[in-house]
Structure 1
Amino acid sequence: MKNIKWVFVLYAMLATFSIMAIGIFIGEGSATGVIGSIVALVAIMGFGFTTKKKMREKNQL
């Protein structure tokens, strides 16, 4: 439990919610919502990978 990187758990949860939002907006027929959710997903995943790279360079992983 001590090795859990909570920031990555947060990124994973946010990405999961974005994926769920895509499905919800598809069901509602909202193209704007789908596009917004996809943009949010790409941004969250980008932040996660960037954070992982920075932590790896600082030998924190």
Structure 2
Amino acid sequence: MKSGKWIFFLLAFTAAASMVAVGIAVGERSIIGVVLSLLALTGAMGFGFATKKKMRDKGML
């Protein structure tokens, strides 16, 4: 795996963990947990898409 692609693996793992955390928070009936998990999911995915676009524009992908 190229060194530049590790960041995408970590972001994907973070996004998946956030999705799992949403399910756990729903099961625990924790509105704060759901909100925080959704914010983490949105942040991870947004950062991943932005990073991918920047790398594609620079010709690194």
**Smaller-chain TM-score bracket:** over 0.9
| Structure 1 residue 3: Cα displacement | 8.1
Structure 1 unaligned blocks of 5 or more: none
Q: TM-score, normalising length from structure 1?
A: 0.92
Identity of aligned residues (%): 54
The two structures, once aligned, show a CA RMSD in angstroms of 1.5
Structure 2 unaligned blocks of 5 or more: none
User: Which residue is 1:46 aligned to?
Assistant: 46
Q: TM-score, normalising length from structure 2?
A: 0.92
Alignment of 1:1-61 (within 5 A): 1-2=1-2, 5-61=5-61
| Structure 1 residue 17: Cα displacement | 0.3
Q: Distance in 1 between matches of 2:19 and 2:53?
A: 23
> Residue 48 and residue 17 in structure 1: after superposition, are their counterparts in 2 closer, same or farther (change >3 A)?
same
Count of residues paired in the alignment = 61
